[in-house]
A = this chain, B = another copy of it.
Amino acid sequence: MQDTHVGLAHGNGGRYMRELIQHIFVRHLGNPELDADADAVPVDCGAGDIMLTTDAFTVQPLEFPGGNIGSLAVHGIVNDLAVSGATPLYLTLAAIIEEGLAVAQLERIVAALGEAARRAAVRVVAGDTKVVRRGEAAGLYLSGCGVGVRARRQQLGMDTIRAGDALLVSGPVGDHGVAVLLAREEFGLMGQVESDCASVLPLTQALLAIPGLRFMRDPTRGGLATVLHEISRASGLGVELAQPAIPLRPAVQSVCEMLGYDPLYLACEGRVVAVVDADDAPRALQALRALPAGAQAALIGSTTTAHTRVVLSTALGGERCLEELEDDPLPRIC
């Protein structure tokens, strides 16, 4: 491929588009199922429930410490399958490219996407590219679909949550949000925070072995607080959180204090929130902590019938109600 920047002709269905697809996408994502000439491809899912999910990615900037929109897309989709109790198998990928995107940047992104897919043992089996004019996108949008298989009918779901269940988080919160924030360079702060962008499959597989597991979710857009609101709303229960127990990197805390963000509302891209029967909480915590990605896992609170809010007990003995997000604190984080 000789062009250094993507042009509208790379989206026209003809020779330039074929070159772009072959030289960038097929080269980095090639696998037996990915047939760039097919309209649809057969996939073998083996036994079990076939699980589907989809996600779009509009993060800005496209590259940030710890990842880029390509690795983020893989992890975002893989993680939605993983927290549903499934093993991710296949991805599809649609790219909306703005005219003028540097081919070298596109290639870095697709290479990271391919690498993340290989590590997560998923294969990109179908794709589509569209090119839009300058000013009609912000470089690149990715969206995709994930197909996984759930080996047995896992009775996971927010409807299984009961009062007194324990709430666990697998690691520090807000890393991704702060990493992206700093990468925007709007604040003149040097970034010392990397995104936590990663597959959570090892964590969810460890948790699936715990009989008292009720529900798992990855706290992406809207962060930990939003997942807890979803749990509260769906279960009709309140949530009580112990602020000192919530793992938080000092660098994330400092940036949030300086800029006025609440880290509990900032996106993670490699964490799991799990609801487990209180009796199984120690085992679940142990299972998470046995993994490198779960070394800082913590029991952060519990569900209650005492109220229907999400209430945070602070280190100083105060209480603060975590409201549902209204304005977007940080657009285009994922």
Q: What is A's interface to B at a CB cutoff of 8 Å?
A: 8-9, 11-16, 37-45, 49-58, 79-81, 83-84, 86, 90, 92-96, 125-133, 135-138, 141, 143-148, 150, 157-158, 217-218, 220-223, 226, 229-230, 234, 324-329, 331-332
Contact = CB atoms under 8 A, between A and B. Distances in A.
A54 B145 contact: yes
B222 A13 contact: yes
A255 to B, nearest CB: 19
Contacts of A79: 39
A145 B131 CA distance: 18
B95 A326 contact: no
B15 A324 contact: yes
A56 B94 contact: yes
B218 A54 contact: no
A114 B47 CA distance: 31
A15 B325 contact: yes
A332 B97 CA distance: 12
Contact of A328 (B11, B84, B222): B11
Contact of A39 (B83, B94, B127): B83
A54 B96 contact: no
Contacts of A158: 37
Given A13-B325, A141-B141, A53 B37 contact: no
Contacts of A95: 56
